[in-house]
């Protein structure tokens, strides 16, 4: 590794002007303060998306109807991480499930606590652990727990 | 549309981690020279060029113009294509369109990657910048320790959700991923243009490598490789004049779908192991080539497998076997070079990944099998028809090319 040169620097995030939140994520974050999960429902096929896009991915028609989604759901797939984002080994393996919440057709990724890695499986029922103090941030949904 | 054939292939002399003795255009010129030497053509024979490499991996923009002399493109039409992992085959398809349409008679497709001069992870982050920025703004914990949207590590983090779902739905086990990686590293040992070669590779050896993100181990993951590949395409009329043996393009197809990563902009609705694009593109390619039963009519397959489970998963998606059957073919030895369904005799992407070339190498390796010119890694059975598969984009883009030893009947 002695041949690797390291150049320290900072990434000024405010120089990026992406449409940061979008309607779907704004609606979701606003309602999470009240422990509510809100997506958008296609008036034609009934697909529910959270966060909700402007257009249905199946019908390609405009969606404007909000729909409430449960904070309970089912694991669709998962991974178990053994290293952090910098590649350093973690003290404890970290379980990352992708969950389909009841009443929602899109999936959401998170962290699963309260279960051993060897006991996680596709189809497992889980629920959201909400933060005590909620601020309208993604941190309001702390992690998933077994149902 | 006109018939199109592959009349020449050129590789850099080696595909390795670091080509320090040459810079990017010099390295590319080695493959271009090899393409001319192998065919006896000169730059004057080439009507148009298509250039492909991954965006941002080396931080070099417009490499096709920077390297103009080295690829002999001066004074010719040239376009650059970048579609992620599929880049090499997307560039090949663009070359095919040039010739099939009659816009050009002879086209050279040039692809490269020089991973050692850049940072693939930075390049991959560039692909998901809007998602990351949105998640940061919405309060995500970038360490992945809590909250929604735990961020995996680069491509391996995202792909582990696919592998996990594939294992669940197919009934295969992590040991089958271990064996597939071992099988392809053994094949790679017979290919002079492969990177990670291990004639003694076994599932047990692979199983000893550390888990990165379950079920993906270090031994299941492709290397970062320096290398370049060139492929020359010609119309049927020109091919008859310029080449003794031709691998004919029977069909091409490609398909994209949604992002299939559980990020907070696209609201994922698709199982990353469902891979509808592979199913749609392969069906379309079979129809266009007049293939009714791929299991019987396709003799050889090259799968784009950045991660070893993908060989098995995509064999099922493209209809070379039923869902849940690929790992059983593996157990029966059918995926080996002397098997009934030989796959990735080249060693696949899991053994060699200079990413801009990787999807084109699936085509050139399929062509070498059709031509009977693969040398030590030529498969045992006769190859009349071969399929090359490319995978890339943001997990969701698939390219298919079918080659044959005879031109397609009009």
For residues B47-52, give the mean pLDDT. Answer: 97
CB-CB contact of A111 with B146 (8 Å): yes
ipTM: 0.87
- Chain A: residue whose CA lies nearest to B169: A122
pLDDT for B130: 66
Residue B308 phi/psi, 5-degree rounding, is -65, -30
Indicate yes or no: CB of B265 within 8 angstroms of CB of A22. Answer: yes
Nearest by Cα to B104 from B35, B46, B43: B46
Looking at every residue in chain B, the average pLDDT score rounds to: 91
CA distance B372 to B374: 6
- Residue B95: which pLDDT band, with cuts at 50, 70 and 90? very high
| φ, ψ dihedrals at B4, nearest 5° | -130, 140
Q: Is the pLDDT of residue B262 over 60?
A: no
Per-residue pLDDT of B179-219, as tens digits, reads 999 999 999 999 999 999 999 999 999 999 988 889 999 99
Look at B148 and A110 and tell me if their CB atoms are within 8 Å.
Answer: yes
Residue B33 and residue B45 in contact, taking contact as beta carbons nearer than 8 Å:
no
pTM here is 0.93
**Cross-strand bridge partners of residue B254:** B399
Confidence label for B316 from pLDDT (cuts 50, 70 and 90): very high
Mutate to test the interface with B, among A11, A12, A96, A122 (most CBs of B within 10 A): A96
Q: Give the architecture (CATH level 2) of B4-118+223-404.
A: 3-Layer(aba) Sandwich (3.40)
Task: Tell me how many degrees the CA angle B397-B402-B403 measures, rounded to the nearest 5.
Answer: 145
B22 pLDDT more than 90: yes
Determine the pLDDT at residue B274: 85
Q: Say yes or no to pLDDT of A15 above 90.
A: no
Under an 8 A CB cutoff, do A81 and B152 touch? yes
Under 8 Å between Cβ of B341 and B301: yes
Inform me whether the C-beta atom of residue B132 falls under 8 Å from chain A C-beta atoms: no
Lowest mean pLDDT among B270-274, B285-289, B325-329: B270-274
- In this structure, of B59-63, B160-164, B166-170, B368-372, the range with the lowest mean pLDDT score is B59-63
Q: Which of A16, A22, A138 comes nearest B147 by C-beta?
A: A138
Q: Which residue of B has its CA nearest to A121?
A: B168
From chain B residues 142-161, the ones with a CB under 8 A of any chain A CB are 142-153, 157, 160-161
Band of the pLDDT at B58, cuts 50, 70, 90? confident
Q: Which of A53, A85, A105 sits opposite B143 (nearest CB)?
A: A85
How many Cα atoms are found within 13 Å in the side-chain-facing hemisphere of B395? 24
Rounded CA separation B119/B258 (Å): 26
Domain ranges of chain A: 20-146
Tell me the chain A residues in contact with residue B256 when contact means C-beta distances shorter than 8 Å: none
Check whether B59 has a pLDDT greater than 70.
yes
Candidates A20, A108, A142; nearest CB to B133? A20
- B-chain CB neighbours of A121 within 8 Å are 168
Q: How far is B283 from chain A (nearest CA, A)?
A: 21
- pLDDT reported for residue B155: 53
Instruction: Note whether B264 and A51 are within 8 A (CB).
Output: yes
Chain B positions touching A142 (Cβ under 8 A) are 146-147
B372-409 pLDDT per residue, tens: 999 999 999 999 999 999 998 777 899 999 999 999 98
Is A20-146 a domain of CATH 3.90.230.10? no
The model's confidence at residue B220, banded by pLDDT at 50, 70 and 90, is very high
Residue with more model confidence, A125 or A98: A125
Mean pLDDT of A58-74: 96
Q: Encode burial over A70-99: b for 16+ CB neighbours within 10 A, e otherwise.
A: ebebbbbbbbbbbbbbeeeeeeebbbbbbb
pLDDT in tens, B237-257: 999 999 999 999 999 999 998
Q: Which of A18, A21, A77 sits opposite B164 (nearest CB)?
A: A77
Measure in Å the smallest separation between the Cα of B409 and chain A Cα atoms: 38
B387: closest CA of chain A, how far (Å): 30
Q: Are B262 and A73 in contact (CB under 8 A)?
A: no
Beta carbons of B214 and A94 less than 8 Å apart: no
Say yes or no: B121 contacts chain A, CB-CB below 8 A.
Answer: no
Residue of B nearest to A39 (CA): B267
Instruction: Choose among B140, B145, B215: nearest Cβ to A138.
Output: B140
Q: Which chain B residue has the Cα nearest residue A99?
A: B262
Which are the contacts of B216, defined by CB distance < 8 A and separation ≥ 6? A79, B156, B159, B160, B163, B177, B307, B309
* Domain chopping of chain B, boundaries: 4-118+223-404
Q: Is A131 exposed, middle or buried (0-12, 13-18, 19+ CB in 10 A)?
A: middle
């Amino acid at each position: 590794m002695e041949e690797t040169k390291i150049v320290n620097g900072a990434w000024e995030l405010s120089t990026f002007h992406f449409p940061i939140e979008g309607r779907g994520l704004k609606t979701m974050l606003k309602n999470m303060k009240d422990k509510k999960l809100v997506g958008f429902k296609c008036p034609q096929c009934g697909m529910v998306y959270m966060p909700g896009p402007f257009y249905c991915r199946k019908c390609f028609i405009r969606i404007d109807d909000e729909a409430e989604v449960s904070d309970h759901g089912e694991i669709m797939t998962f991974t178990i991480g053994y290293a952090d984002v910098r590649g350093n080994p973690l003290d404890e393996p970290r379980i990352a499930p992708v969950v389909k919440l009841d009443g929602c057709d899109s999936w959401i990724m998170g962290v699963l606590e309260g279960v051993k890695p060897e006991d996680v499986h596709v189809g497992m029922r889980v629920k959201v652990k909400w933060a005590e103090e909620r601020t309208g941030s993604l941190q309001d949904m702390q992690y998933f727990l077994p149902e | 549309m006109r018939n199109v054939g592959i009349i020449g292939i050129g590789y850099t002399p080696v595909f390795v981690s670091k080509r320090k003795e040459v810079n990017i255009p010099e390295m590319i010129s080695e493959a271009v020279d090899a393409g001319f030497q192998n065919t006896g053509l000169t730059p004057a024979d080439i009507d148009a060029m298509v250039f492909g490499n991954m965006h941002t991996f080396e931080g070099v923009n417009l490499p096709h113009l920077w390297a103009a002399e080295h690829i002999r493109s001066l004074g010719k039409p040239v376009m650059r294509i970048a579609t992620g992992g599929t880049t090499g085959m997307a560039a090949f398809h663009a070359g095919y369109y040039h010739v099939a349409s009659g816009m050009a008679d002879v086209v050279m497709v040039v692809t490269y990657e020089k991973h050692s001069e850049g940072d693939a992870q930075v390049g991959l982050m560039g692909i998901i910048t809007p998602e990351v920025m949105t998640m940061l703004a919405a309060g995500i914990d970038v360490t992945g320790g809590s909250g929604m949207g735990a961020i995996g590590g680069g491509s391996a983090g995202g792909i582990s959700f696919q592998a996990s779902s594939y294992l669940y739905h197919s009934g295969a086990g992590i040991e089958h991923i271990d064996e597939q990686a071992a099988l392809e590293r053994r094949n790679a040992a017979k290919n002079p243009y492969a990177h990670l070669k291990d004639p003694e590779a076994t599932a047990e050896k692979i199983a000893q490598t550390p888990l990165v993100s379950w079920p993906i181990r270090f031994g299941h993951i492709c290397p970062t490789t320096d290398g370049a590949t060139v492929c020359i395409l010609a119309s049927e009329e020109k091919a008859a004049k310029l080449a003794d043996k031709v691998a004919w393009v029977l069909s091409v197809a490609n398909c994209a779908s949604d992002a299939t990563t559980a990020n907070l902009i696209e609201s994922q609705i698709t199982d990353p192991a469902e891979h509808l694009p592979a199913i749609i593109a392969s069906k379309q390619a079979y129809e266009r080539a007049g293939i009714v039963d791929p299991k019987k009519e396709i003799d050889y397959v090259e799968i784009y497998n950045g991660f070893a489970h993908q060989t098995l998963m995509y064999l099922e998606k493209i209809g070379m076997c039923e869902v849940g059957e690929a790992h059983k073919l593996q157990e029966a030895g059918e995926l080996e070079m002397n098997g009934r369904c030989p796959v990735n005799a080249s060693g696949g992407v899991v053994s060699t990944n200079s990413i801009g070339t990787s999807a084109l190498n699936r085509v050139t390796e399929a062509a070498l099998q059709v031509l009977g010119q693969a040398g030590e890694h030529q498969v045992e059975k006769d190859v009349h028809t071969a399929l090359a598969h490319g995978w890339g984009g943001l997990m969701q883009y698939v390219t298919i090319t079918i080659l044959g030893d005879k031109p397609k009947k009009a």
